[in-house]
Amino acid sequence: MPDSITLAWPGGPLQGTAQLPASKSESNRALIIQALAGNGTLSNLSDANDTQLMRRLLANSIADTLDAEDAGTVMRFLTAYLSVTNRQALLTGTARMRERPIGVLVDALRQLGMQIDYAEKEGYPPLNIKGWGANLPAEEMAELTVRGDISSQYISALLMIGPQLPGGLRLFLTGKVGSRPYIRMTLSLMQHFGADCRDLGSVLEVRPTSYKPADYAIEADWSAASYWYSMVALSPAGGQIHLPGLRRHSLQGDQAIVGIMEKLGVATEFVPDGVLLTQQPPTGAFSQDFTDCPDLAQTVAVIAAAQGISVEMTGLESLRIKETDRILALQTEVAKFGATLTEEKPDVFRVATTDFEVNGQTVATYHDHRMAMAFAPLALRGPLTINAPQVVRKSYPSFWDELEQAGFKA
């Protein structure tokens, strides 16, 4: 792809059908569980780079070094998977991945008896994974205490290997638990493949019941759908988009976009094959906690700024350790359009607009797919340029093609 892409909207309401990628979150969990179960057919797997990378690394049983690139789920899930399957390897990643902490997960796995060494900086990848080594796994149920406010990917990584432990696993979660829908997704997928696991609130319990091969169809991605919600909200009057493949009863926490966008100008109708989005008047200022859906924060911040709606945003703590410091990136980029994202008190941010205008600005994406896709809908208000558009390959490789199909000019 080129180094940048300039988008413009030719006029008239946005209408039609957009194809979403399959859920990356479901796909990567299902791949790990399928590998532990030994078989089963997964249909509608995501074509996102993270998922294709996971497939390749799981299939590679001989390499001494495995590169998780910039994929958080790949790094965290494989750390646990390689350890429990006694696969010895150096697990590394991009420069940014080597800045993202993993000590909480490594400490937990070490408590289970697994041998993992840091190859460079203590607490960060790359990791020398050596499996059980000479440590015999305990026959009684393993018990671990884990902070609930860490990345849910750590918790999911531990849960998924629970059925492989001779005595099973009991996790005690302390403090505020973030991204709980992702934990529920993990448990639901585990149960689909025969695991005996329970969510008891602050305690998660996995019995030592082996996985069984099963088939599973991946749902379309609600995180990706959020960008089409933005486009319908910003469309000239009459905007409407059909999104096939989404389910009313979803495992994905980012289905929360339905309720959030009711306030920002989009109505959702569930139809037999997905959802139909229709423009409606926004309701005005509101508060939103993103603890359970942090990947929606950029979408909502940008659309609220463009709509001139003040939104108080909480639950953003995990955004600082994503592909980039997403809070700083948002603050920098919305300022180019006449908006602010201000921390009014610790962990409480407010989006506000002074004189919002789209008039040819260039948006930096910071190696972050969600920065590119959160700002792209602003092209409905005026021309703008997105730098490094190839970042969308991480989760939605066909994003720019879908925009072109919808009528955007690039």
Q: Can you give the pLDDT at residue 143? A: 95
Three-class SS of residue 341? strand
Q: How far apart are CA 281 and CA 287, in angstroms?
A: 18
Share of the chain above pLDDT 90, in %: 89
CA 116 from chain centre, in angstroms, equals 26
Q: What is residue 249's predicted lDDT score, i.e. its pLDDT?
A: 93
pLDDT at 135 (0 to 100): 73
**Confidence bin at 254 (pLDDT 50/70/90):** very high
What is the rounded distance in angstroms from the CA atom of residue 213 to the CA atom of residue 384?
48
Task: Show which residues are catalytic.
Answer: 295
Could you tell me if 76 and 151 are in contact, meaning their C-beta atoms sit under 8 angstroms apart?
yes
What is the distance of C-alpha 333 from the center of its chain?
21
319 Rama class: left (phi>0) / alpha (psi -120 to 50) / beta: alpha
Which two structure tokens, joined as six digits, stand for 127? 């990791």
- Report which of 88, 96, 14, 107 is spatially closest to residue 368, judged by C-alpha positions: 96
The confidence score (pLDDT) of residue 372 equals 98
| Cα–Cα dist 193/385, whole Å | 45
**pLDDT 10s digits, 121-154:** 999 999 999 998 777 677 889 999 999 888 889 9
Burial class (CB in 10 A: 0-12, 13-18, 19+), 91: buried
Residue 181: is its pLDDT beyond 80? yes
- pLDDT tens for each residue of 356-391: 999 999 999 999 999 999 999 999 999 999 999 999
- The domain made up of 4-21+220-406 has a fold known as UDP-n-acetylglucosamine1-carboxyvinyl-transferase; Chain (3.65.10)
pTM equals 0.89
Q: Residue 239's pLDDT is what?
A: 96
Q: Which token pair is 259?
A: 């309720």
pLDDT at site 382: 97
pLDDT of residue 150: 81
What average pLDDT score do residues 326-337 get? 95
pLDDT of 185 strictly over 90: yes
How do strand 274-279 and strand 115-118 relate by DSSP bridges? unpaired
Amino acid identity at 277 = L
Identify the pLDDT of residue 92.
98
| Neighbour count for residue 106 (Cβ, 10 Å) | 24
* pLDDT number for residue 409: 96
> What are the residues whose beta carbons fall under 8 Å from the beta carbon of 294, sequence distance 6 or more?
178, 179, 315, 316, 318, 319, 322
Same fold? 4-21+220-406, 24-217: yes
Band the pLDDT of 248: cuts 50, 70, 90. Answer: very high
- Identify the pLDDT of residue 258: 98
- CATH number for 24-217 (one of 3.65.10.10, 3.40.50.10490, 3.40.190.10, 3.90.800.10): it is 3.65.10.10
Per-residue pLDDT, 354 = 82
* DSSP, residue by residue, 346-382: TTEEEEEESS---SS-EE--TT-HHHHHHHGGGGGTS
CA–CA gap between residue 258 and residue 69 (Å, rounded): 32
Each domain of the chain, given as residue ranges in start order, spans 4-21+220-406, 24-217
Tokens of 59: 């299939």
- Tell me: pLDDT of 213 over 90: yes
Torsions phi, psi for 288 (to 5 deg): -145, 130
Instruction: Look at residue 133 in the predicted model and tell me its pLDDT.
Output: 73
For residue 178, the model assigns a pLDDT of 78
Average pLDDT over residues 87-114: 95
In the prediction, which pLDDT does 139 show? Answer: 82
Specify the pLDDT at position 224: 97
Mean pLDDT for the chain?
94
Q: Which amino acid type is present at position 76?
A: R
